[in-house]
């Protein structure tokens, strides 16, 4: 059954890719780079999702709000840009795009994907898609977590900025940045409170020596 679903998913991606190649003259090269980045995002996350799916969750926080925020981010990062690029639904909001913005977008995407991969590797079995504490949850302060507390969110911000620069549309372009910013506004204070309750002084000291998204510049 699972294999069947996976096969269907890959067929869906191939059809989507073919549609985007067909619509390349309308959407521009940025659209294909955006699509490749979205597939890469999935490929990076998938093994971690599989590895952690049977792990025991000790505590789950704000389950309802978290589900809503996840739907919002899926809309902004995948559904709205995907539907627009395939159907031209939002073409009334298209703009010229140019060549410099997509080129910067490409590098933002590469950097974001690298950080996305590293933060999954460093967080290991402590990673979860919603706010949770696992059984035997450990506090990670090494690797890309040495200087910043939310490298995975920094990565998603970079990838969302790439979407803005790669998709020449005033709605589909910024959709990911808007959705993800809203998610962070609600989630990060809750996440830090949860970590402080769980790890006490250790997390407080970690907070004191790090920043949320970018390393301190001395």
Q: Is 131 in the site for ligand SAH (CB under 6 A)?
A: yes
Q: Is 85 in the site for ligand SAH (CB under 6 A)?
A: no
Quick one: how far is CA 193 from the chain centroid?
Answer: 22
Q: Is 146 in the site for ligand SAH (CB under 6 A)?
A: no
125 CB-contact burial (10 Å; exposed 0-12 / middle 13-18 / buried 19+):
middle
In whole angstroms, what is the distance from residue 186 CA to residue 193 CA?
Answer: 12
Task: State which residue, 84 or 150, has the beta carbon closest to ligand SAH.
Answer: 150
Question: Which residue, 152, 145, 109, is CA-closest to 129?
Answer: 152
**Exposure string for 13-25, b = 16+ CB within 10 A, e = fewer:** eeebeebbeebee
In the complex, least distance from residue 129 CB atom to ligand SAH, rounded to whole angstroms: 7
Q: Is 116 in the site for ligand SAH (CB under 6 A)?
A: no
Give the count of residues interacting with ligand SAH (CB under 6 A).
Answer: 17
Q: Are 141 and 204 in contact (CB under 8 A)?
A: no
Among 151, 158, 174, 175, binds ligand SAH (CB under 6 A): 151
Contact mark string toward ligand SAH, 168..207, x via CB under 6 A? -----------------------x---x------------
Among 65, 78, 126, 210, binds ligand SAH (CB under 6 A): 126
193 — phi, psi (to 5°)?
-65, -45
Query: Which residues of the shown chain bind ligand SAH in the complex (CB under 6 A)?
Result: 119, 123, 126-128, 131-133, 139-140, 145, 150-153, 191, 195
């Amino acid at each position: 059954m699972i294999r069947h679903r996976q096969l269907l998913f890959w067929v869906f991606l191939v059809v989507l890719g073919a549609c985007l190649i067909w619509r390349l003259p309308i959407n521009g090269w940025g659209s294909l780079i955006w699509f490749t980045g979205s597939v890469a995002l999935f490929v990076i996350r998938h093994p971690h999702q599989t590895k952690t799916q049977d792990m025991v969750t000790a505590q789950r926080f704000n389950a309802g709000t978290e589900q809503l925020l996840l739907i919002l981010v899926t809309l902004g990062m995948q559904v709205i840009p995907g539907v627009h690029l395939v159907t031209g639904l939002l073409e009334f909001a298209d703009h010229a795009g140019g060549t410099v913005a997509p080129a910067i977008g490409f590098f933002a995407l590469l950097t974001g994907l690298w950080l996305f991969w590293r933060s999954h590797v460093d967080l290991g079995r402590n990673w979860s898609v919603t706010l949770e504490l696992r059984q035997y949850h450990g506090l990670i302060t090494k690797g890309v977590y040495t200087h910043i507390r939310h490298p995975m969110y920094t990565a998603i911000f970079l990838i969302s900025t790439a979407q803005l620069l790669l998709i020449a549309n005033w709605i589909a372009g910024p959709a990911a940045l808007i959705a993800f910013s809203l998610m962070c506004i609600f989630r990060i204070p809750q996440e830090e409170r949860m970590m402080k309750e769980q790890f006490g002084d250790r997390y407080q000291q970690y907070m004191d020596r790090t920043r949320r998204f970018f390393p301190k510049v001395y």
